[in-house]
Structure 1
């Protein structure tokens, strides 16, 4: 019996992993909307529910979540590894571009390195043979001007559908080659051999980017500064391009944290107070864009060593304007991230406040959501991974009787549509009932709460059924009503609903 249960569990995990790949990479001809619990645009009508967000489950105070460490002596990343990079899903793998500096450099010089992984935790540094470091090219350096300058950051866009094979990978980078934080762009057929644009630098204004996606046909690049005069300190700004060469000189200010009147402005300098560090790493989920941003906490003494930085959480529906579902929530906490202990067991002196730095790249791998980051200005700390149960970044919970939510209008385009829930806490005394409504909130016959027979158990993606019906068949827009029911509805945690229509 135990063996059968294990086999069933393994089969369920394998099915979920395969489904995640097919939905993420477009092999399934379906259009999916994700109704996250924290997204009040898609779940606007709420009664008797309370929202909670979930901080990363990564370990604090240890390096147990380190996934890219410094290389051995003589390697180009033997002296330090920081992220300031990207992770993309490519050909069934995760590819990472990160920054490293080696022990053969007299000066502080970071170069772009390449790594790949199947699971986001164990990473391989392949010997690319492209760039010599010392007398050896047996390393994982990518060829961007043969590593001839120090790179401050890189954001990689992967477009397998690009008709020009030499431009299927695109990069925005900053570094010593273009002073004043002007950015350059480069192109690659394979992600490791890069050719700069002859028109570099591209940015017309000082811009320190760390997030970017292609969204509805336009390339978006966000970071801090970027020519936005309305905030005198770090805020999230976005620039746009349709050809990756010509970028808007003007920026969209999408999110700020500094005091705005009538709140008192007590700032003592450019490093003091609440700010947004390096914009946000973005995750396009189709109908919603999620962002992890640098939550800068400046000290009144204006000393960078006293600045602490957590990771905050943003939501957007146009990839330009962002808001926090719960203001100032720390989705990844910086506390105790520097190692506490020296090799001899004594405590390590604290030489600066704990601070972490986000990059560009999220992934759902099997039953987990992963995001990578590094420790700000601590090169020996390497690249680390934060993790959550899959898509469980937040949940709604019943706070009174008759608790329920109703979605915004959802188009099915007249195609068969299924609903699945990411939910926990279901059992003998707690259940959810899903009703399909029309635009005017009237139940569709056959899809009412009384007919709802599933999901019967908790899970990351459990199907909703109405008797023997799994597909919703209608040529009109619909709404979903999700009720928290049973003797103990407060046990239920609703993380997300997935609405999938065949094309």
Structure 2
């Protein structure tokens, strides 16, 4: 079922119109400003802006003989106090699903420093001193994509799950107790309708109460995305083609859709946007960096999409999220492809990773960091402006903000009736200026921080911003 289109910001009168659909129930969910879901109006030059990730350098070189220039389709998982990385090892190009492909792993205590364990599970290139978790099982190492099943009571030997396969085999289900030793869950394919020639991403959705898988299809001449759902990881629904809210179609090589860890009702997709035939570098530049001759005729970057469930992506931002870096090595085919999942790597920081220098001797995985919740932001300059939300209902006692201001800037919050009239005690005149740069700070008024008297009641929020950015908000106890 398609989701209803979301309202856009626009001009309005002093008394604001209300929707026949009723207020948006947000309860105590953290809401990120990655789309216009909550936004009714942006006034006074306030804008909704995409953030730019910080380049944190090489996280992992693909420098083992069984890894090489064509490593790809990485997945990063957080398991307790450890981080796990999985990726395809492939030293030379070939047909999808060849016997040369292996699935490799690396581990980290913090998501910053990575090591390749010597597992001894498979002999590859004459040695068992390697980090290979799957080999000699073509075509499944082509795009092996694991997940951790977080549900209580999951059998211990199925806590790790994975999907892998090609069009010829369909997607087959795997399971593991430790993430190293994998077995097939069934003899036949679990999902059969799809192209399956790139990464196919499964996860458990707390929001929808089922397993989801997002995967590649070809439609209308473009690489696009479909999704399917399951209650048991073995039997999957008829796939639905994802829509993009009327945005222009683009080739999305991988979609990398996953629930955001701090707001699992919100799915974030850092998708690889592929530009076939858009050649940037010359043959001479290609020769100088040692790229495979078949892999410099195209270029790619990454774009940010989001979804709140169902068969619809929001494409508020068409511009590049991860843009190629300086140097010809960043402008080859199939580079800048993000790994699956965004993970927290510090008290105020989250990270994602991307394959770079594809098809080159210097192929590696690179880390990029962002402020927690900071995929995008509502931004006002020195002249100031306002954000007014649609009517909402909430639960909680405090309104926590993830924000930053300059030394001269500030944020004030007014709570209004649905028609825009200020609620006594919570007007802009009552609001205390919120100044600083914090992940979690409660808004306050002359009477304090407590807003519990308004819980469950339809209200609007009016944010007055001056030289300030707002990343996320949450009503908390």
Give the TM interval when normalised to the shorter protein: 0.7 to 0.9
Q: SS in structure 2 opposite 1:166?
A: helix
Mean Cα deviation higher: 473-482 or 196-205: 473-482
Query: 2:241, 2:34 → 1: CA distance?
Result: 24
Structure 1 residues 83 and 409: alpha-carbon distance in aligned structure 2, compared to 1, 3 A threshold? farther
| Distance change (3 Å), C-alpha of 1:43 and 1:96 | same
Q: Name which of 302, 323, 334 aligns with 1:333.
A: 323
Equivalence for 1:220: 212
**Alpha-carbon shift at residue 251 of structure 1 (Å):** 2.7
1:173-228 deviations in Å (ceiling 9; x for gaps): 12xxx553622110112222211122332222232334333221122211221xx6
Shift of 1:172: 0.9
Equivalent in the alignment of 1:390 = 372
Q: CA deviation at 1:330?
A: 0.7
Which residue, 107, 132, 152 being the options, matches 1:141? 132
- TM-score, normalised via structure 2 length: 0.78
1:277 aligns with 2:258: no
Give 1:52 deviation, angstroms.
1.9
Cα offset for 1:362? 0.4
1:98-144 Cα offsets, whole Å, 9 max, x none, are 122469x9x772211222223222112223333233554333222x4
- The 5-angstrom pairing of residues 128-277 of structure 1 reads 128-134=119-125, 136-142=127-133, 144=134, 146-150=135-139, 151-163=141-153, 164-174=155-165, 180=168, 182-205=170-193, 206-207=195-196, 208-215=198-205, 216-225=208-217, 230-255=219-244, 274-277=250-253
Q: Which residue number corresponds to residue 84 of structure 2? A: 95
Change (3 A) 1:197 1:421: same
Q: Is the 1:257–1:276 contact (alpha carbons within 8 Å) kept by the matching residues of 2? A: no
Cα distance change on mapping 1:130 and 1:55 into 2, 3 Å = same
After superposition, the Cα gap between the structure-2 partners of 1:450 and 1:76, relative to the gap in structure 1 and judged at 3 Å, is same
**Is residue 275 of structure 2 the alignment partner of residue 297 of structure 1?**
yes
SS of equivalent residue, structure 1 residue 186: strand
Answer whether contact 1:308 1:355 (CA < 8 A) is retained.
yes
1:65 to 1:470, Cα distance in 2 relative to 1, 3 A = same
User: Which ranges in structure 1 are unaligned for 5 or more consecutive residues?
Assistant: 1-29, 59-63, 261-273, 341-349
Equivalent in 8, 21, 38 of residue 34 of structure 2? 38
Distance 1:402 1:380, change over 3 A: closer
How do 1:2-21 residues align onto structure 2 when only pairs under 5 Å count? Answer: none
Q: Is the 8 A contact 1:236 1:255 kept in 2?
A: no
8 Å CA contact 2:28–2:394 kept in 1: the answer is no
Give CA deviations for 1:227-251 in whole Å, capped at 9, x if unaligned. Answer: x6x5232112222222111123433
Do structure 1's residue 55 and structure 2's residue 37 form an aligned pair? no
| Structure 2 segments unaligned to the other structure (5+ residues) | 1-25, 280-293
Note closer, same or farther for the CA distance 1:300–1:456 as it changes in structure 2 (3 Å cut): closer
Structure 1 residues 134 and 162, CA, compared in 2 at 3 Å: closer, same or farther? farther
The question of 1:501 aligning with 2:469 is answered no
Please show how residues 277-426 of structure 1 align to structure 2 within 5 Å: 277-284=253-260, 285-299=263-277, 305-318=296-309, 320-327=311-318, 329-336=319-326, 339=329, 352=332, 355-366=335-346, 367-375=348-356, 376-378=358-360, 380-398=362-380, 403-413=385-395, 416-426=396-406
The reply on whether 1:471 has 2:447 as its aligned counterpart is no
Give the CA deviation at 1:67.
Answer: 0.9
Residue 409 and residue 378 in structure 1: after superposition, are their counterparts in 2 closer, same or farther (change >3 A)? farther
Residue aligned with 1:86, SS: strand
Matched residues, number: 422
Summarize the alignment of residues 86-125 of structure 1 with structure 2, pairs less than 5 Å apart. Answer: 86-101=75-90, 109-125=100-116
Cα pair distance change 1:277/1:354, threshold 3 Å: closer
User: Deviation of residue 370 (structure 1)?
Assistant: 0.8
Mapped partners of 2:247, 2:411: distance in 1 = 41
RMSD: 3.2
1:466 alignment partner, SS class:
coil
Q: Which residue of 2 aligns with 1:271?
A: none
Contact 1:412–1:476 (CA under 8 A) maintained in structure 2: yes
The aligned residue for residue 66 of structure 1 is 58
Could you tell me whether the CA contact under 8 Å between 2:173 and 2:186 is conserved in 1? no
1:321 is paired with a residue whose SS is coil
CA distance in 2, matches of 1:434, 1:258: 33
Using the size of structure 1 for normalisation, the TM-score is 0.74
Report the Cα offset of residue 32 of structure 1: 4.5
